[in-house]
Structure 1
Amino acid sequence: MGPLGVTELANATALPKTTVHRLLKTFEAHHWVEFNRDKKYQLSWGVLPMAKSFLTSLDVRAIAQPYMVAIRDQLQQSVNLFLAQGDYRICIERVAADKPLRNDIKIGTVYPIFKGAAGKIFGAYLGGFKDADMSASESSQIRHDGYVVTRGNRVPDAASIAVPIFSFGNKLEAVMTISGPIGDYTEERVKEYLSVMVVLGQTISKQMGATL
């Protein structure tokens, strides 16, 4: 797909033009897109590190995807896989359940790295994010527990559980989450979901070369 104008992008994404324009200005500031002489937006050099991270994520995607399908079918929750890129996190794989949510996640969606359940995992294990609303004690507790549960953190009517995925050298490679309507995340169901997700994270991590 070649360069596109604001109106074309708004039509393609079904987003308001004001929202598209605001996003483009953010992307332009990060050199992800640039405004060309034809007054259209095109990809810029800033996407190259992101593309490199995407390519290096192919192994974790290939390993995780069959498990994600199985977990979606078992728990009836959407399953998402995130990769860190600078101060942001990117959804690199998603297996959706039939439970649509407002502001639902899509493959390729970029979020501030410290937002949501996945962001808390990244913040706890990678650290150094000055905007992260997380104390040292919470960060330590997350590393001890090996998971995060949030309700209404990013989307008011949604809840999520996140677990880390490690690779060789026990390096944080990615974060996997399940998400769904907040009503699904009762205390009893959270225990059920956690019993599956924690084991899943460990299983994928071992296949990625981690020694847990």
Structure 2
Amino acid sequence: MANSPSGESMIARVVRLLSVFPKYNRPLSVREIAEYASLPVTTTHRLLKELEAEDLVTRMTDGGWQHGTRLWEIASRNSPVQSLRDAALPPMEDLVAGLRVHVSLAILDRHEVLYLERITPDDYTVNITSVAGRLPAHATSAGLVLHAFGSQEGQRLFLSRGHARFTETTPTEIEQLKEKLNRARLDGFVASLGTIIPESTGISVPIFGPKKLAIAALTVIVPVGDEDLDLIVPQMKITARAIQRRTGVVPEMNSRVSRQTRPSPLG
């Protein structure tokens, strides 16, 4: 694959171009795409025409561009992410109906949390997660619980990175993060109060795969001060076990889940 004068491959430029669209909920002009992707306008126009020929992007009647349907089709076929989402949706809907809370499903992708699904009741809770959106792992309950029940190599890399502070309660120091991971393994969940949005608390439990490592996180978002852990956490664990069962994992085989029955105080 030909490289640019800067040494960047064609694939890298195409990925950067396609990654621009999810950040803006509208079709974009060639100049906007070029600016956001840090590409020359002529290069951007040429790549868009080639991608349009394969229906990976679509030009709208007003001249703007957006993702094409074939891109969604390719991404959806035989996708483990789509299978996980399909398995999780019915139990998540039951949880929302029972507790009237915001619920999301997320996985780790490198050093970020990638959200696969989000179900929101009609209330006032501040929730900035969006489907296919990303948030930094250290500032979210989902990211912390996924690392706590993830691989040792993943934990090592997580703790070796620098971490930005978003609010007064965002954990950024290595010792803080180590303590939160250890606490998560003992409690079986993470509750993060105002660590990325001051008004909201994220509560997450792991969803385990066949190797007894967390493959996803189930998260509930509530207003700070409304964290009824004795009510919420047991229901979340029931939902997580239901999702595991629907993915083919027998929950009872995972001792780390079965031992965690009693929520601990917030911290």
**Does TM-score exceed 0.5, indicating one fold?**
yes
* Aligned match of 1:191: 230
Report the residue type matching 1:155 in the other structure: I
2:162 pairs with one of 131, 139, 153: 131
Instruction: Kindly provide the CA deviation profile for residues 61-91 of structure 1, in whole angstroms up to 9, marking residues without a partner as x.
Output: 1111001111111111011000111112211
Residue 111 of structure 2, aligned match among 87, 92, 95? 87
Q: 2:198 corresponds to which residue?
A: 156
Deviation of residue 135 (structure 1)? 3.5
Q: Quick one: percent identity of the two aligned structures?
A: 21
1:22-71 CA-to-partner distances (Å, cap 9, x unmatched) read 9x46xx6xxxxx66526569699xx9xxx59x921122211110011111
Q: Distance in 2 between matches of 1:35 and 1:84?
A: 32
Compared with structure 1, are the counterparts of its residues 61 and 10 closer, same or farther at alpha carbon in structure 2 (3 Å cutoff)? closer
Residue 65 (structure 1) aligned with residue 104 (structure 2):
no
Deviations 1:157-195 (A, max 9, x none): 11121000111121221111011322432xxx2210012
Q: Does 1:172 align with 2:228?
A: no
Match of 1:181 in 2: 223
> 1: distance between equivalents of 2:199 and 2:141?
14
Selected match of 2:26 from 4, 12, 16: 12
2-structure distance, mates of 1:193, 1:145: 14
Question: Do the aligned partners of 2:102 and 2:118 also contact (CA within 8 Å) in 1?
Answer: yes
Aligned residue type for 2:202: S
**Alpha-carbon distance, 1:203 to partner:** 3.0
Q: Following superposition of structure 1 onto structure 2, how do residues 1-150 of structure 1 map, counting pairs within 5 Å? A: 12=26, 24=36, 37=42, 39=44, 55-102=79-126, 104-126=128-150, 127=155, 128-129=157-158, 130-131=161-162, 133=172, 134-150=176-192
Q: Which one-letter code corresponds to 1:195 in the other structure?
A: P
Mapped to 2, the partners of 1:84 and 1:162 lie a distance apart of 13
Name the Cα RMSD after superposition: 3.5
Q: Distance in 1 between matches of 2:246 and 2:81?
A: 14
Distance in 2, Cα, partners of 1:162 & 1:138: 13
* CA distance in 1 between partners of 2:136 and 2:108 (Å): 10
Taking structure 1 as reference, are residues 62 and 157 closer, same or farther at Cα in structure 2, changes over 3 Å only? same
Count of residues paired in the alignment = 186
* Structure with the largest fraction of strand: 1
Cα distance change on mapping 1:102 and 1:38 into 2, 3 Å: farther
CA distance in 1, matches of 2:115, 2:208: 17
User: Which structure has the larger Rg?
Assistant: 2
Aligned equivalent of 1:16? none
**2:208 and 2:215 in contact (8 A); partners too:** yes
When the two structures are superposed, what TM-score results if normalisation uses the length of structure 2?
Answer: 0.59
Q: CA deviation at 1:110?
A: 1.2
Over residues 99-128 of structure 1, what are the superposed CA-to-partner deviations in whole Å (9 max), with x where a residue is unaligned?
Answer: 244462111111123221111112322312
What TM-score, normalized by structure 1, do the two folds share?
0.72
Instruction: Give me the whole-angstrom Cα distance separating, in 2, the residues matched to 1:35 and 1:140.
Output: 48
For structure 1, the residue ranges without an aligned partner over 5 or more in a row are: 14-19, 29-33
